[in-house]
Amino acid sequence: ADIQQWKSARLKAYAAECENNQRKLRDAGDALGARLDSLIGSSQTVNAAKAALHKQIVAIEKEVNFLISSAEIASEGVQGINEIRANIDDAKQLAHSWKMTIDSNGNVSMDAAQVKRLRDSGHSRKEIQRAVDTAQQRVNSALEQARSLAESLSQKISALDAGTYDNNVHYSATNKIRPSLPPAGTSAQEVASWWSSLSDDDKQWMIQQHPDVIGNLEGVDYTSRNQANRIMLPIRRKEVMREAARYEQTLGPHPTEEQRAEMDRLRNRVRAIEQIENTLAKEDSDRVPRYLMSLDTSGANVLAAISQNNPDDADHIGVIVPGMSTSVAGNSEGGSILDYDGHAKVMRESAEKAAGRGQKVAMVEFFGYDAPPSVTEASTPIMAAYGAHELASFLNGIDAVREHGAGDAHITVAAHSYGSTTAGMAATLVGEGVIDDLVQFGSPGSGVQDVGEFHVPEGHVYVSAAPYLHDVVQGIGPDDWFGKNPDKMEGYKHLSGDVGPAPSSYEPWDLHSAYFHKGTQANQDIASVIGGKPNV
């Protein structure tokens, strides 16, 4: 089959129809179950009524579970097709930009005349070959994704027909069977379909029984994840404090440099939890609710994401991605999640003004990846590449929650410094329609060689660049590693780079973080994109 013709719209509509129908049938089944429970006695008439009700209930239970399963399978198809479409669209856009040809077998080529034209216009052979290779990689990825998706859906449909498919909901109107967690590797769309099929009582049971899983499970709504993560927060605090105390007890009077470094890391984990608590506590003073969207202490450093306002029902969602020397814990110069909550407040308030009356803006501080702590680590894109996968998964999760909840939201990724490279790479990994707008500012590199590599609508990629002499981080990464400088690339819309006056004492990076300063034109322009009304 020609995968260029694959569309997710019908599957998406079918999944929604299944979810709506199962809810109606479930209500009917629950009502019949209550009637069955109310029948008392063992007379012939009562027994006949019980038998008739039981027969109806069994039929409803079977149909409800079939609809739940069908919605889950269709939702996997939606996410898979969206990812395939994103790669196809990228390949086609690259082919159009570079005048390449993609034949019916998926082979990408460029004729000699076009190569000569590009060479004459200043493009190197290496650059031309890289463009062809990138387009070919996108095509190959789409073909492999299509093969894998078709195989997975075929297996699940066969299991559904055979009655062996486990939807992890296990609906019963008479016998209370609790749901089970989806298996590892379940897509965000499948999780969202599963979660939306649970009763409110079952959701609360899952949150109380598995807060550590639910709090970080992409596809679960953020009201529920916030509740789960707040259950886990004091537990994680005790764990990291105990971990640090135990290690400190093993140290002698003259610890080695490695031991001191490990002690610092463990203390930073404690400080990270404190910074999360302090950030959440700000809602008591400014009356803006905070949502702990993720909390992960499994790695060397604590990772988290916090939103101002609820992403479940916001019209606009802005995701701030920080860069070098930032972490949940922060350091002596700032860079913590608490500091970025201040940046998010400035950006959110400005975005709300841009969006207009009645429009709700949720602003997310994404600290869900390990940013490089110093220039040494930031000199390579390795941490950006790892972080890109985490960010892409997070963004796919937001999209899935909204598709199975309040409906589509306008999602903007606003990424600073090294975080802009991370975000650029993530924008090549998300599904179609996940990121509506991408803004990169103070960027060492876009993460790509051509805007056609982004899974972002054409014309929806923006850059803000302060005066170079005061932000020499811009474009500093080698193009081959970090991607090209977005301020110099075709396809970007240029926002203001006015970040305010420079300090009296000159530093070549003294305005690098000024994009977050309140009232500057650059800040207002970035916020205008988040608010859905770009000032360009």
Q: What average pLDDT does the structure give for the chain?
A: 97
pLDDT of residue 355: 98
pLDDT of residue 176: 85
Contact indicator for 364, 311 with CB cutoff of 8 Å: yes
Distances from the Cα of 480 to the Cαs of 172, 258, 303, 453, 486, in angstroms? 57, 34, 29, 14, 14
Distances from the Cα of 263 to the Cαs of 246, 258, 266, 334, in angstroms? 10, 9, 5, 20
pLDDT of residue 419: 99
**CA neighbor of 128 nearest in space, from 535, 450, 369:** 450
* Widest Cα–Cα separation across the chain: 96
Question: Residue 379: CB partners within 8 Å, gap ≥ 6?
Answer: none
SS3 content of the chain, % helix, strand, coil (to 5): 55, 10, 35
430-433 contacts, C-beta under 8 A, 24 or more apart: 430/86, 430/392, 430/395, 430/396, 430/399, 430/455, 431/79, 431/82, 431/83, 431/85, 431/86, 431/396, 431/399, 431/455, 432/8, 432/82, 432/83, 432/85, 432/86, 432/89, 433/82, 433/399, 433/408
pLDDT of residue 504: 87
Find where tokens 């890109």 sit: 388
Nearest-angstrom CA–CA distance, 283 and 277:
11
287 DSSP 8-state letter: -
pLDDT of residue 1: 60
Query: Rounded to 5 degrees, what are φ and ψ at 115?
Result: -60, -45
Q: Which domains does the chain have, with CATH numbers?
A: 3-209 (no CATH), 222-530 (3.40.50.1820)
H helix or E strand, kind and range, residue 306 = strand 303-308
Radius of gyration of the chain measured on its C-alpha atoms: 26
Side chain identity at residue 85, one-letter code: R
Nearest-angstrom CA–CA distance, 393 and 28:
37
Nearest-angstrom CA–CA distance, 72 and 179:
14
Contact indicator for 363, 312 with CB cutoff of 8 Å: no
469 DSSP 8-state letter: G
Nearest-angstrom CA–CA distance, 52 and 71:
29
282 DSSP 8-state letter: T
Residues of the chain with pLDDT under 70: 1
